[in-house]
Structures are given as structure tokens and as C-alpha cells.
Amino acid sequence: MSAFIDPDIEQVQAAARIGVDAIELHTGRYCDAPTRDVRDEEHRRLVNAAKAATKLKLRCYAGHGIHYDNVGAIASILEVEELNIGHSIVARAIMVGMQAAVREMRDLAWQARRDAIASPG
């Protein structure tokens, strides 16, 4: 069982208390942030929630509003095991085809993950 929650420590803890195996962090506020300061704060919330989930032995996923320009920052959160991305890939596929659209997104996410592993912190 999983729960789709905001990146809030109290929600992560509540999910663990009710016995879910996994959480999906809502990335919408990060993705829609109107300013760099808000985006940075929302990214910190995502990082902290993902770390809390891992400490509580919950699998951690993320999704909602992720697109080609912001996937790297989410993919670089090493505690996030899976990204749930749909709309932006399908929209891109109209222009380049589904295979290329998926490959482009995968490559962006993997590069961000490799970079995060190479220089943690």
C-alpha cells in the first residue's frame, strides 16, 4: 500500500504509522514555484521528506508536474527511487515520438542521478 502525500515530515510520519510500504511525494509545488526562493524551499522540503521516509523504511517515489526542465533536481534526490512522469513525456512524444521522448527524459534523470552520486551533499 502506498500514499500520495505532500513533502511534509508529519505526513511522512503519519504514512508510516498507518502502515504504508511506500509514499509518493507530491512535487507540484516545486514544479510550479513562481520564484527561485520558493523553488529552493520546496526542494528542501522534498529532500527532507525523502530522507525521513528512508529512515522510516518507506520506499519513496515522487511525481506531479515533473518535466524536462526540472526533472534533474528531483532525480538528484537519492532517496527517491522512482519518478512518476506522464504528461510531459506524452506531450513531447507528439513532436519526437514516444521512444525518443522517454529516452530523453530517462537520460536527463539518469545524468542528474549520476551527478548526485558523484558529488553527494
**C-alpha cell of residue 105:** 527524459
Q: Tell me how crowded residue 31 is: count the other CB atoms within 10 A of its CB.
A: 20
Q: Which CATH number is 2-118 given?
A: 3.20.20.70
pLDDT for residue 26: 98
pTM (predicted TM-score)? 0.93
User: Are 80 and 43 in contact, with CB atoms under 8 Å apart?
Assistant: no
pLDDT for residue 119: 87
Q: Tell me how crowded residue 47 is: count the other CB atoms within 10 A of its CB.
A: 19
* CA separation for the pair 20, 76 (Å, rounded): 24
DSSP-assigned beta bridge partners for residue 63: 26, 84
* CA separation for the pair 26, 36 (Å, rounded): 18
pLDDT for residue 52: 98
Q: Where are the domains of the chain?
A: 2-118
Percent composition of the chain: helix, strand, coil (DSSP 3-state, to 5): 55, 15, 30
DSSP-assigned beta bridge partners for residue 60: 23
pLDDT along the chain (121 residues), means of 10: 97 98 98 97 98 98 97 98 96 97 97 92 61
User: Are 120 and 78 in contact, with CB atoms under 8 Å apart?
Assistant: yes
Cα-to-chain-centroid distance, residue 22: 13
